[in-house]
Amino acid sequence: MNSVVIRSALPGDEAAWRQLWKGYCGFYKTAIPDEVTTRTWSRILDPDSAVLCMVAEVDGQVYGFANCVVHENTWEALPVCYLEDLYVLPSARGRGIAAALLEWLRNAMRAEGWGRVYWMTQQGNDAARRLYDRFTKPDDFVRYVLRPR
Ligand SMILES: CC(C)(COP(=O)(O)OP(=O)(O)OC[C@H]1O[C@@H](n2cnc3c(N)ncnc32)[C@H](O)[C@@H]1OP(=O)(O)O)[C@@H](O)C(=O)NCCC(=O)NCCS
């Protein structure tokens, strides 16, 4: 595979991003309402929004994305970057595309002055964890979620 280009998502990426997003939601067996997907995409394109999306392109085709939210935090003065969604087209996996997205985020952290990039994954997501373990060690926090109903 030729080299992977990581760049911010652009309006012309909408169809490719939506296709990948569908695959990502399928991976998590979740049905995100269309209006939420549309809102997420518009937040990605909005320069005033805290939502970022980096796409991974090879030979002009988009094969993966990383959706992030940059936010303030109470433990340090610097903003931090939450990597919320990471996805690579199944036929393009195992070729370093997700690693390139993570490497891009590591460099952006240094360039932008983020205090950290953090993310979570399911205990049993072995493919993802093998990759993540190359970047850093997991900590021992456990996630609790409270919902309105
Ligand atoms: C996790 C995911 C983003 C990794 O993307 P990727 O581009 O295949 O990642 P990389 O090629 O950079 O690294 C993949 C690692 O997965 C493993 N891998 C190798 N071939 C693979 C394949 N065909 N399919 C899946 N994983 C493979 C390898 O362990 C590889 O690490 P290695 O190079 O040290 O052997 C991708 O599998 C994916 O989209 N999965 C479904 C969604 C998901 O789990 N997202 C993360 C949620 S937190």
| Average of per-residue pLDDT across 109-129 | 97
Q: Quick check: 76 pLDDT over 90?
A: yes
Is the model's pLDDT at 129 over the cut of 80? yes
Please tell me the predicted confidence (pLDDT) of residue 95: 96
Examine the pLDDT at 25 and tell me if it is beyond 70.
yes
CA–CA separation, 119 and 132 (whole Å): 10
- Whole-number Å distance, alpha carbon 78 to ligand 1 midpoint, is 30
Which are the contacts of 54, defined by CB distance < 8 A and separation ≥ 6?
6, 7, 8, 9, 65, 66, 68, 101, 104, 105
CA of 74 to the centre of ligand 1 (A): 32
Find the 101 Cα to ligand 1 centroid distance in Å: 12
Is 99's pLDDT higher than 80? yes
Q: In what order do the strands lie in the sheet with 117-118?
A: 5-8, 51-58, 61-71, 80-88, 117-118
Mutate to test the pocket of ligand 1, among 20, 88, 104, 132 (most ligand atoms within 8 A of CB): 88
Atom of ligand 1 nearest to the CA of 121: 48
CATH topology of domain 5-132: Aminopeptidase (3.40.630)
Ligand 1 centroid vs 88 CA: distance in angstroms?
8
What rounded mean pLDDT belongs to the chain? Answer: 97
Quick one: pLDDT at residue 2?
78
Band of pLDDT at residue 33, cut at 50, 70 and 90? very high
Task: Indicate whether 149 pLDDT > 90.
Answer: no
- The pTM for the full model equals 0.95
Closest residue (by CA) to atom 42 of ligand 1? Answer: 87
